[in-house]
Structure formats: structure tokens, C-alpha cells
């Protein structure tokens, strides 16, 4: 065990991947000289040189598409997009090309590319740097979507993502970069399963990325009130690990999804639909969700806090499911 | 212009004509089959522009990468994709080069490094830059040739890709097929700078304009440009001035251009002007021309027969290849 931040864990993952496979390289805006917008890649330029730590122009469409091309050409690129909002400038290569290519070429071309980007609010960065669009990307067949919420996943998801033959989007929660803790070096990280992060009997809280910590805090508070909440960390947003979800929901008979995305047409909506489709007769209450308010993220701290899922709202919704409100 | 003497060995001189004829007859037949509803979806014909694909692709090595657009039947064919596999693809048959999943706009062939078949205008340009980046990083000498129309130069993707290729000095040959119309919008109605070479030179990519109706001029210019890419490692841009004789697609009533303009360009048609030159230089006689014609028609009919005899992918495998299958232990 070693004490480390989420940012340092991500950097360790990058360093290990770069050291392990000469085909791996990192490119993106300010990943080199600047040291990474959020300092994730700090020091890597000195260690690996300009060929493998490539500062790009402000051309999200161009360099994400170039990442797709480089992957097709035999490399294992890691492309960093500063925030998920900026990735909207690069939707064409991600969706029209990379996600579709294998199927539309009749199985001839896979795109072994990893795109990392920051997601989520909580840092008063307002409406063009704070959204949680990973659930939106999770709509797209051909993509794999990862959301590391723990130090182990922050460090450990990158390598299996690079081993994966298809495009993987890795969403780093911006509010977690400074989170510090003990890294369990022995944990084996996969990129296929959801994990039970806390066991419980009375209801299942389903969370990921930035909402995992809040769900765990809510579970702790609920425990003080005699409610035993199980907490699931989705980890992989596409493809969803239905088996782990349903096993938990069948056991607790109640499900509450906590999702930083907007409610309408959200990942939370998809998860609830699956629970209803697959576990309806095991439920003791209608599944519920706590999502972000459906507004562009405001700047002022009190408004941003009000727009996001927070522990009291999670606790209240959980108690509502149990008829304890 | 079209009077440059043909100084190739006779066999190669005839090969250029043979390949233009192969594309022309393939596409004329495809248009008929579209009328018979054998081919559906969008079908974009290259008729009139054949000198570009033929001249360029004969100047590349077999292992160079090619990225093309949705008007790419000829490029696929010249890269070495069998005509039967192209026709079967348009028929939606699993013997097609994309197993019937792509259709006319999405021909692919990994074996010949033919990277499509890209139907988002300019989408292939930064993709080609990435392929060239991979080549550079792996120490290879192969060139990536990227085809796109003049309309693509209005897209941000083109600007970003040109900058990146020049900034990182990547081995890309940008091949702009300027047929003067982005679908129905004339160049001057969509781009303030209509001098495409000037536009590209602003990105510090060396650029040259070429008569795209003259297969010899195309071939010579491309040979020089490819040599420059291999020597310098950096990009080159060629503008091929050409013309689409047919409609944009099978749904286009052609309201946006004069019939007289089309007829004027047809007098410069790449096939009849080139065959006339070959005959004038006694590199080809009428019997030789007819033999090439017959050969092309026979290949097309064999391709149609192949497509007709092809089979449909079972619906059970619809979901295959959304993701790469995991290796079996």
C-alpha cells in the first residue's frame, strides 16, 4: 500500500504503459511542455521524449482523427482531450469512423485507440467545462466506456484499455484528481465488470466516477440510521455489466441510480430500464434516480452544488424507496 | 496540357487506358443496375474523373496506404480490390469487399491497405495524417495518399489535418479532386479563396495544380510529388482539375450547372483524348482499342455474374464485428 492521489495514479498508469509497449504514445493539448492541463502527464516528456509525448495544436477533430489513423497504422495511441465538452469537436472521428469502422468494413479494421478525457463538475468551471456526457457516449455501439472512480482503477484501467482491440473512452472525473488515498497494488483491474464497493441488504445504490464517493458517503449515513445500503461502482458504462447489477438488485429488491448526467435520456434511465426488464418481479419499490438538474452547469458555487447529485438527496431518495421518508 | 507526348513504354501506356476503361464500364453498368434496383442507397459515379485515380495510383507502390471518399469505386479497383468484390458490395452481398455492410460508399480492403470508402466529407483527411504518423513513428517509408474533393477544403478537418501534417512533417500525399462542385454548390459560391493551392500553401504544404483530365499529367505530377514525400518525409498537395460528367448521385436532377458547361468538359474527356493521343503516336490502333474495350466489358460482366451469384449475410451475424471478437483460448 502506498499513499497517492488519483492524479498520480493516472500518471503511474501512463508511465507503465509507455514503458511496457513501444507502440504506445500520448498526444493532446499541453500534455508535454505544460505538463498536462491537470498535471496528469507531468514529467513524462522528460522521461519519454517528444516523439512519444506529443503536444498537439488546438485541433480536437484533427488529432483525435489522427489518433484513429495512427491506431489503424499499427500504433497504440493514447489521445488526451482536455474535457468532455471539447470532445464534441471530435465526435466525427469517434462516432462516424472509429465506432463504425469494424462493422462497416465487414470486420477488417479494428481501432485500438484509447481516448482519455476529463468529465464532471464540482470545480466551478461553468457550462463549457463541467458536463458529464459519458452516458451520452455510452449510447453508441462500437465504443467501450470506462469511468475509473478509485485509485486502483485510475492506475490500472489504462493498460487493459490499451490491450483492447477497439476504441476505449476513459473518463477521468475532474473533481477526483486531488483525492488521496492508499493504493492497493495487489488489486487486479479488469475493464469488463461492475464492482460491489460496499455490501448491504436493504437497497442498492448504483454509481460511478464522481458519484461513487457520494454514494458511499450516503451509505455510511444510512447505516447510522439503520439502513444497510449496497453500493455498486459501474466502472464500465458500455457494455454494462448487467449480471452484477441484477444480482445485487434481486438481493436488496430496491435500486437507486446516482448519475451526474442529466436525467432525460440518461445512463440512469438505461439502467432503470434494464432493471425493470430483467428484475421487475424481484422489486419491492419502483427504481429511482438522483441526477443532475437539467440546466447548463452554472458557475456560482451554491448553484453548482444545487445542480449536482448530493449526499442529502441520495439519502432522502434511499429512504423514500424504503418508505422511511 | 493534353498535348504532352506519351513517352511511356507501350504496355504501360495502354495500361493507363485499360484502367480508365475498366472504371468507366464498371460505373456505367452500376448505373444501369441502379435503375434495375439491384444496387440501392447512394451511388456516386466518378465518370469523367478517371484520369485522376488511374494516374495517381499507378504512381504509388502497392504497399502505400490509400484513403478515399464515397466516390471511390475506381480507387478501390486500382488498389487491387477485385471488380467482383466491388460489385458484390454494391449488391449488398457478403462476398463484397466489406461483406455487404458498407455498400458503394464504404469499400474497404485491409489486404491492399485501402482505408475506405469515407462518406463524411474531409473525415478521411486527418485519418490519413494519423496513418502517416504511425508510419513515421515505426520508421517506415510508405506514403499515405488521401483523396478528397475541393468541397472538403471548406471543412475544419481539412485545415486541422493540413496544419498537423506540415507541423509534424508527415508523409502524406493530399490528392484534391477538384470537380468544381460540392454536390451542387460551385466552388466560388462556397469558398472565398478559390485558388486551392494558395489556400494549402498558407499551411506550408507544397502544392501544385494539375490538369486532371490528362492521365499523363496526373501520373507525372504524382510521381514527382511521391518522390518529394519520400525524400523529405513531409506532405505534398496536388490539385487535380477535373469534372464529373454525371450527376452527384442518382438523386441529383442537376439544376445547378449548365448543360453547355458539361458538354464543354466532355470534349476534354480523359478516355477519348488519351486514346486519340495513343493512336496518333501509334501506340494503339483501333483493333487494340476495341480489344481493351472488350476486355473491360468482359470483366464487368464477370463481376456482375459474381455479384448475382453472391449470397446474403445471414441475419444471425448482424451483430458480429461491432466489437472485435475476443481470441478463443
For residue A77, being part of any structural domain is answered with yes
For residue A134, being part of any structural domain is answered with yes
For residue A189, being part of any structural domain is answered with no
CB-CB contact of B127 with A97 (8 Å) = yes
Residues forming beta bridges with residue B155, ordered by sequence position: none
CATH of the domain at A315: 3.40.50.920
Which contiguous run of DSSP H or E holds residue B163? Answer: helix B156-167
Mean pLDDT rounded to a whole number for chain A: 97
Mean pLDDT of the region A155-173: 98
Verify that A85 and A149 share a domain, yes or no: yes
**DSSP class per residue in A60-129:** HHHHHHHHHHHHHTT-EEEEEEEEHHHHGGGHIIIIIIIHHHHHHTTS------EEEEEE--SSS-GGGT
Q: What is the rounded CA–CA span in Å between residue A123 and residue A111?
A: 33
Summarised one tens digit per residue, pLDDT across range A235-248 is: 999 999 999 999 99
CATH of the domain at A145: 3.40.50.970
B162: three-class secondary structure by DSSP: helix
User: Is there a contact between A105 and B137 if contact means CB atoms under 8 Å apart?
Assistant: no
Q: What is the rounded CA–CA span in Å between residue B174 and residue A319?
A: 63
For residue A260, being part of any structural domain is answered with yes
Number of domains forming the structure of chain A:
2
For residue A188, being part of any structural domain is answered with no
Q: Which residues contact A175 (CB under 8 A, 6 or more apart)?
A: A120, A121, A122, A123, A210
For chain B, how big is the Rg over CA atoms in Å?
19
Cell 478537418, residue located: B157
CB-CB contact of B146 with B210 (8 Å) = no
Identify the pLDDT of residue B327. 78
CA-nearest residue to A164 within chain B is B324
Identify the pLDDT of residue B187. 96
- What's the CA dihedral at B119, B120, B121, B127 to 10 degrees? -100
Interface mutation vs chain B, best among A25, A69, A96, most B CBs within 10 Å: A69
Query: Is A103 designated active site?
Result: no
Verify that A156 and A221 share a domain, yes or no: no
Q: Say yes or no: A163 contacts chain B, CB-CB below 8 A.
A: no
Verify that A211 and A163 share a domain, yes or no: no
- Distance between B325 CA and the closest CA of chain A, angstroms: 9
User: Is there a contact between A61 and B322 if contact means CB atoms under 8 Å apart?
Assistant: no
CB-CB contact of A199 with A169 (8 Å) = no
Chains A–B, number of C-beta pairs less than 8 Å apart = 139
Q: Say yes or no: A238 contacts chain B, CB-CB below 8 A.
A: no
For residue A190, being part of any structural domain is answered with no
Domain boundary (A113, A148, A183) is at A183
Sign of CA dihedral B204, B205, B210, B213: negative
Domain boundary (A117, A151, A183) is at A183
> Hey, which bits of A268-312 come out as E strands?
288-292
Domain boundary (A183, A205, A237) is at A183
In chain A, residues 30-89 whose CB comes closer than 8 Å to chain B: 51, 56-57, 59, 61-75, 77
* Domain B10-317 in this protein, CATH class: alpha beta
Identify the pLDDT of residue B263. 95
- CA count, 13 A, side-chain hemisphere, B293: 10
Of B98, B126, B322, the CB nearest to A106: B98
Residue A135 pLDDT exceeds 90: yes
Identify the pLDDT of residue B322. 97
Verify that A176 and A201 share a domain, yes or no: no
User: Is there a contact between B137 and A75 if contact means CB atoms under 8 Å apart?
Assistant: yes
Identify the pLDDT of residue B251. 83
Query: In this prediction, what percent of chain A has a pLDDT beyond 90?
Result: 99
For residue A210, being part of any structural domain is answered with yes
For residue A88, being part of any structural domain is answered with yes
Summarised one tens digit per residue, pLDDT across range A77-121 is: 999 999 999 999 999 999 999 999 999 999 999 999 999 999 999
Verify that A213 and A273 share a domain, yes or no: yes
Write out the three cell numbers for B298.
Answer: 468482359
Summarised one tens digit per residue, pLDDT across range A37-89 is: 999 999 999 999 999 999 999 999 999 999 999 999 999 999 999 999 999 99
CA-nearest residue to B323 within chain A is A142
Identify the pLDDT of residue A128. 93
Q: Say yes or no: A165 contacts chain B, CB-CB below 8 A.
A: yes
- Distance between A142 CA and the closest CA of chain B, angstroms: 5
- Predicted TM-score (pTM) of the model is 0.96
Summarised one tens digit per residue, pLDDT across range A190-225 is: 999 999 999 999 999 999 999 999 999 999 999 999
User: Is there a contact between B128 and A108 if contact means CB atoms under 8 Å apart?
Assistant: no
Range of the domain at A246: 195-321
Verify that A150 and A67 share a domain, yes or no: yes
CB-CB contact of B288 with B15 (8 Å) = no
Query: Is A139 designated active site?
Result: no
**Active-site residue, selected from the candidate residues A60, A134, A152, A260:** A60
Verify that A270 and A300 share a domain, yes or no: yes
- What's the CA dihedral at A217, A220, A226, A227 to 10 degrees? 50
A3: three-class secondary structure by DSSP: strand
Verify that A174 and A220 share a domain, yes or no: no
Identify the pLDDT of residue B2. 52
Residue in A158, A143, A39, A136 with CA at minimum distance from that of residue A88: A136
Query: In this prediction, what percent of chain A has a pLDDT beyond 70?
Result: 99
Q: Which residues contact A214 (CB under 8 A, 6 or more apart)?
A: A207, A258, A309, A310, A311, A314
- For residue A70, which residues of chain B lie inside 8 Å, CB to CB? 130-131, 133-134, 137
Reading chain B (329 residues) residue by residue, the pLDDT tens digits are 456 789 999 999 999 999 999 999 999 999 999 999 999 999 999 999 999 999 999 999 999 999 999 999 999 999 999 999 999 999 999 999 999 999 999 999 999 999 999 999 999 999 999 999 999 999 999 999 999 999 999 999 999 999 999 999 999 999 999 999 999 999 999 999 999 999 999 999 999 999 999 999 999 999 999 999 999 999 999 999 999 999 988 888 889 999 999 999 999 999 999 999 999 999 999 999 999 999 999 999 999 999 999 999 999 999 999 999 987 76
For chain A, how big is the Rg over CA atoms in Å?
19
Interface mutation vs chain A, best among B160, B174, B204, B328, most A CBs within 10 Å: B160
- For residue B128, which residues of chain A lie inside 8 Å, CB to CB? 69
Verify that A134 and A272 share a domain, yes or no: no
Verify that A147 and A11 share a domain, yes or no: yes
Report how many helices (DSSP H) and strands (DSSP E) chain A contains, helices first.
Answer: 14, 14
User: Is there a contact between A106 and B65 if contact means CB atoms under 8 Å apart?
Assistant: no
Exposure string for B3-14, b = 16+ CB within 10 A, e = fewer:
eeebebeeeebb
Q: What is the rounded CA–CA span in Å between residue A113 and residue A24?
A: 10
Q: What is the rounded CA–CA span in Å between residue B248 and residue B48?
A: 12
User: Is there a contact between A69 and B130 if contact means CB atoms under 8 Å apart?
Assistant: yes
Verify that A90 and A215 share a domain, yes or no: no
Q: Say yes or no: A226 contacts chain B, CB-CB below 8 A.
A: no
pLDDT band with cut points at 50, 70 and 90 for residue A20: very high
Verify that A243 and A161 share a domain, yes or no: no
B283: how many CB neighbours lie within 10 A of its CB? Answer: 19
Amino acid at each position: 500500500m502506498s499513499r497517492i492521489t488519483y492524479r498520480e495514479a493516472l500518471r503511474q498508469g501512463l508511465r507503465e504503459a509507455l514503458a511496457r509497449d513501444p507502440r504506445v504514445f500520448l498526444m493532446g493539448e499541453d500534455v508535454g511542455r505544460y505538463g498536462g492541463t491537470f498535471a496528469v502527464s507531468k514529467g513524462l516528456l522528460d522521461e519519454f521524449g517528444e516523439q512519444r509525448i506529443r503536444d498537439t495544436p488546438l485541433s480536437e477533430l484533427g488529432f483525435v482523427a489522427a489518433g484513429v489513423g495512427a491506431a489503424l497504422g499499427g500504433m497504440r495511441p493514447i489521445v488526451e482531450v482536455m474535457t468532455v465538452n471539447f470532445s464534441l469537436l471530435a465526435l466525427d472521428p469517434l462516432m462516424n469512423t472509429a465506432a463504425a469502422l469494424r462493422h462497416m468494413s465487414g470486420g477488417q479494421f479494428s481501432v485500438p485507440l484509447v481516448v482519455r478525457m476529463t468529465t464532471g463538475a464540482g470545480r466551478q468551471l461553468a457550462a463549457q467545462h463541467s458536463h458529464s456526457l459519458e452516458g451520452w457516449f455510452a449510447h453508441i455501439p462500437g465504443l467501450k466506456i470506462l469511468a475509473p472512480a478509485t485509485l486502483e482503477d485510475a492506475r490500472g484501467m489504462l493498460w487493459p484499455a490499451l490491450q483492447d482491440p477497439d476504441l476505449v473512452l476513459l473518463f477521468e472525473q475532474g473533481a477526483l484528481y486531488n483525492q488521496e488515498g492508499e493504493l492497493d497494488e495487489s488489486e487486479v483491474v479488469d475493464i469488463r465488470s461492475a464492482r460491489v464497493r460496499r455490501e448491504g441488504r436493504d437497497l442498492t445504490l448504483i454509481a460511478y466516477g464522481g458519484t461513487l464517493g457520494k454514494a458511499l458517503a450516503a451509505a455510511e449515513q444510512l447505516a447510522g440510521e439503520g439502513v444497510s445500503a449496497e453500493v455498486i461502482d459501474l466502472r464500465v458504462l458500455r457494455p454494462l455489466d448487467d449480471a452484477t447489477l441484477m444480482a445485487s438488485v434481486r438481493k436488496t429488491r430496491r435500486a437507486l441510480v446516482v448519475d451526474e448526467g442529466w436525467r432525460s435520456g440518461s445512463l440512469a434511465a438505461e439502467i432503470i430500464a434494464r432493471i425493470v426488464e430483467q428484475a421487475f418481479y424481484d422489486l419491492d419499490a419502483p427504481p429511482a434516480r438522483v441526477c443532475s438538474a437539467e440546466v447548463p452547469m452554472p458557475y456560482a458555487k451554491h448553484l453548482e452544488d444545487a445542480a449536482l447529485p448530493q449526499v442529502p438527496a441520495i439519502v432522502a431518495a434511499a429512504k423514500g424507496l424504503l418508505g422511511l421518508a | 496540357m493534353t498535348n504532352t507526348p506519351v513517352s511511356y513504354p507501350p504496355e504501360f501506356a495502354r495500361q493507363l487506358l485499360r484502367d480508365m476503361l475498366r472504371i468507366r464500364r464498371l460505373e456505367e453498368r452500376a448505373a444501369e443496375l441502379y435503375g434495375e434496383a439491384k444496387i440501392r442507397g447512394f451511388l456516386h459515379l466518378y465518370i469523367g474523373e478517371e484520369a485522376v485515380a488511374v494516374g495517381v495510383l499507378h504512381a504509388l507502390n502497392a504497399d502505400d496506404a490509400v484513403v478515399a471518399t464515397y466516390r471511390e469505386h475506381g480507387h478501390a479497383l486500382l488498389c487491387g480490390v477485385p471488380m467482383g468484390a466491388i460489385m458484390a458490395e454494391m449488391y449488398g452481398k457478403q462476398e463484397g469487399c466489406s461483406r455487404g455492410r458498407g455498400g458503394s460508399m464504404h469499400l474497404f480492403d485491409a489486404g491492399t491497405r485501402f482505408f475506405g470508402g469515407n462518406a463524411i466529407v474531409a473525415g478521411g483527411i486527418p485519418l490519413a495524417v494519423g496513418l502517416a504518423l504511425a508510419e513515421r513513428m515505426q520508421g517506415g517509408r510508405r506514403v499515405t495518399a488521401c483523396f478528397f474533393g475541393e468541397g472538403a477544403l471548406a471543412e475544419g478537418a481539412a485545415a486541422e489535418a493540413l496544419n498537423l501534417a506540415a507541423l509534424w512533417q508527415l508523409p502524406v500525399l493530399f490528392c484534391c479532386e477538384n470537380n468544381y462542385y460540392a454536390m451542387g454548390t460551385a466552388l466560388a459560391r462556397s469558398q472565398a479563396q478559390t485558388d486551392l493551392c494558395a489556400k494549402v500553401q498558407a499551411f506550408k504544404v507544397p502544392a501544385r495544380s494539375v490538369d486532371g483530365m490528362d492521365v499523363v499529367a496526373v501520373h507525372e505530377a504524382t510521381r514527382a510529388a511521391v518522390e518529394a514525400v519520400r525524400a523529405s518525409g513531409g506532405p505534398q498537395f496536388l490539385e487535380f482539375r477535373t469534372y464529373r460528367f454525371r450527376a452527384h448521385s442518382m438523386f441529383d436532377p442537376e439544376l445547378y450547372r449548365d448543360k453547355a458547361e458539361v458538354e464543354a468538359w466532355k470534349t476534354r474527356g480523359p478516355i477519348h483524348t488519351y486514346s486519340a493521343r495513343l493512336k496518333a503516336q501509334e501506340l494503339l490502333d483501333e483493333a487494340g482499342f476495341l480489344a481493351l474495350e472488350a476486355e473491360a466489358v468482359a470483366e464487368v460482366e464477370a463481376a456482375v455474374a459474381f455479384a448475382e451469384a453472391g449470397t446474403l449475410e445471414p441475419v444471425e451475424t448482424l451483430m458480429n464485428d461491432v466489437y472485435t471478437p475476443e481470441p478463443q483460448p
